[in-house]
Amino acid sequence: MTVRVRFAPSPTGLLHVGNARVALVNWLFAHARGGAFLLRLDDTDTERGTDAFAQAIEDDLHWLGIGWDAFARQSDRTDRYRDAFERLRAAGRLYACYETPEELEFKRRRQMARGEPPRYDRAGLSMTEAERERYRAAGHEPYWRFLLEDGDIAWTDLIRGPVHFEGRHLSDPVLFRADGRPLYTLCSVVDDIDLGITHVIRGEDHVANTAVQLQLAAALGADPGAFAFAHMPLLADVSGAPLSKRLGSLSLRQLRDEGIEPMALAGLLARIGTPDPVEAVDRLEDLLPGFDLARFGRATPRFDRDELGRLNAALLQRMPYEAVEDRLTALGMDDFGARLWLAVRANISTLAEAGDWYRICRGDLEIERQEEGFLAEAAKLLPDEPWDGETWAAWTARVRDATERRGRNLFRPLRLALTGREHGPEMSALLPEIGRTRALYRLVGRESAVAGGGVVVPLGRKKS
């Protein structure tokens, strides 16, 4: 059997980490089994769905490294849903209903007050022709419900294990609205059959849908046993509270804008909820070895934004210059250089933060000098260029001997004067990047440096 899975977002909002996790697990499952991954846009909700969200979903999946082998959108498939309507109706599995939302709400409340489960009472089914006629005469079009069968509905979920529902406890779902538009519950089954889906991997908010959809698949002539299901527990935040679907701060777009690398996010999403260690990866394929749906537990996994930040930093820390050169240039940091990158990559948590060190090493920096006498003395001992990784050690040894300063007293004022910061990358790597002219300006001030001779290079950005 060739595995075929689908990721089926509704274009009613931006993808967020919860949806991305479902997409990624589907992708990994398909790729681990040499199968196909389909993107299906569930765009039947024309009131809330937009083309802009549909485009954003595609862009965000690509950003995460997810491509698809096939694409479908429900708005292109209305004929198929019409056809399903005819077949279900002919089989006696669709019935017309006329209740308004208010009437349904009233019934629901009454059931709750009696301690009964809130199920549709099938009043539509037992309506007389005269009653129907009255509705029609008053201009009401019917909407359509699927008549569920009473029996057991059971499947072995690839994450939850054996799942069991009783048909008679479920409410007949509405499949078609009064204006004829089909609803998700139906479309999803028609698509899964037509597109040859073998495994439905989705959030556990769909468990009850699965019970209904198994009966629907059978009513449409498919073998419900042809589908395997895996329902993933929904993500919670660090406090255990559910992540709302439209939580903007955890949209892929927002995370990307905050400088999160896609492979840090993927590394986290592929592993939370499993006992396996979370790690940033270089490519999605690196997550394939050992991937197994059975590793996912039933407990609610917690999404920790700080953990994502740490993975991001760890990923940057091992990135080669070639992997970031174009992006640094796009961020306005041309001629960043491999040496500077190697010097700073362990000290940043997002790529954009490299800009701070770029400005320190390539730009003009106004630094308030402390301990000016000491700095002036140190400036006199600055070696001539060319500078390399040994220059810092050689220079500070001379300064130590001349001033009898040691340790922190020696290094701290120099670092502070040269970078404007208490902490940062190794000075031995930064100093050659800063260069003699800038170093001198920062140690004694531009005017004294120029007056003292030996500095004629105007400071600006170093160009290649």
d(CA 23, CA 284): 12
Residues paired with 96 in a beta bridge: 144
Q: Which SS3 state, helix, strand or coil, does residue 163 take?
A: strand
CB-nearer residue toward ligand GLU: 10 or 437: 10
Q: With binding defined as CB under 6 A, does residue 188 bind ligand GLU?
A: yes
260-279 positions binding ligand GLU, by CB under 6 A? none
How far apart, in Å, are the Cα atoms of 366 and each of 223, 303, 377, 393?
73, 41, 20, 25
* CB of residue 197 to ligand GLU, shortest distance in Å: 10
Contact 308, 260 (CB under 8 A): yes
Q: Which of 262, 220, 269 is nearest to 23 (CA)?
A: 269
**Cβ closest to ligand GLU, residue 40 vs residue 442:** 40
Buried-state track 246-257, b at ≥16 Cβ within 10 A, e below 16: ebeebbbeebbe
- Would you say 210 or 428 has its CB closer to ligand GLU? 210
**Pick from 252, 263, 268, 270: nearest CA to 306:** 268
Annotate each residue in 277-316 with x if it binds ligand GLU (CB under 6 A) or - if it does not, as one string. ----------------------------------------
Give the pairing of strands 228-232 and 199-203: parallel
How far apart are CB 209 and ligand GLU at their closest, in Å? 7
> Least separation, in Å, of the C-beta of 206 and ligand GLU?
6
User: From the CB of 205, what's the least distance to ligand GLU, in Å?
Assistant: 7
Q: Of 232 and 344, which has the nearer Cβ to ligand GLU?
A: 232
* CB 49, min distance to ligand GLU, A: 10
Nearer to ligand GLU, 10 or 251 (CB): 10
Distance between CA 227 and CA 222 in Å, rounded?
10
| Per-residue contact flags (x/-) with ligand GLU for residues 67 to 86, judged by CB under 6 A | --------------------
Among 4, 31, 206, 362, binds ligand GLU (CB under 6 A): 206
CB 273 within 8 A of CB 297: yes
Kindly identify the residues of this chain, within the stretch 357-376, that bind ligand GLU according to CB under 6 A.
none
Closer residue to ligand GLU, CB minimum distance, 143 or 184: 184
Closest CA to 85 of 16, 161, 177: 177
State which residue, 39 or 414, has the beta carbon closest to ligand GLU: 39
Contact map string, positions 126 to 165, toward ligand GLU, x by CB under 6 A: ----------------------------------------
Task: Dig out the tokens for 279 from the structure.
Answer: 């790690």
Q: What angle do CA 54, 58, 59 make, to 5 degrees?
A: 115
- The residue (of 146 and 336) whose beta carbon lies closer to ligand GLU is 146
Among 31, 202, 231, 442, binds ligand GLU (CB under 6 A): 202
Alpha carbons 444 and 369: distance in angstroms, whole number: 8
CA 211/CA 204 separation, integer angstroms: 12
Shortest Cβ 265–ligand GLU spacing (Å): 19
Smallest Cα–Cα separation from 197: which of 174, 226, 160, 217? 226
Between 41 and 399, CB nearer to ligand GLU: 41
Closest separation in Å from C-beta 193 to ligand GLU: 13
CB 10 → ligand GLU: shortest distance, Å? 4
Q: Which residues inside 1-60 make contact with ligand GLU, applying CB under 6 A?
A: 8-10, 42
Per the structure block, which two tokens stand in for 77? 């498939």
Other Cβ atoms within 10 Å of 347 Cβ, number: 19
Tell me what percent of the chain is helix, strand and coil, each rounded to the nearest 5. Answer: 50, 10, 40
Task: Indicate the residue among 4 and 202 with the shorter CB distance to ligand GLU.
Answer: 202
Q: What is the DSSP string of 404-430?
A: ---HHHHHHHHHHHHHSSSS-S-HHHH
Query: Taking the complex as a whole, how short is the minimal distance between the CB of residue 9 and ligand GLU, in angstroms?
Result: 5
**Minimum distance of ligand GLU from residue 461's CB (angstroms):** 48
Binding residues for ligand GLU, per CB under 6 A?
8-10, 42, 184, 188, 202, 206
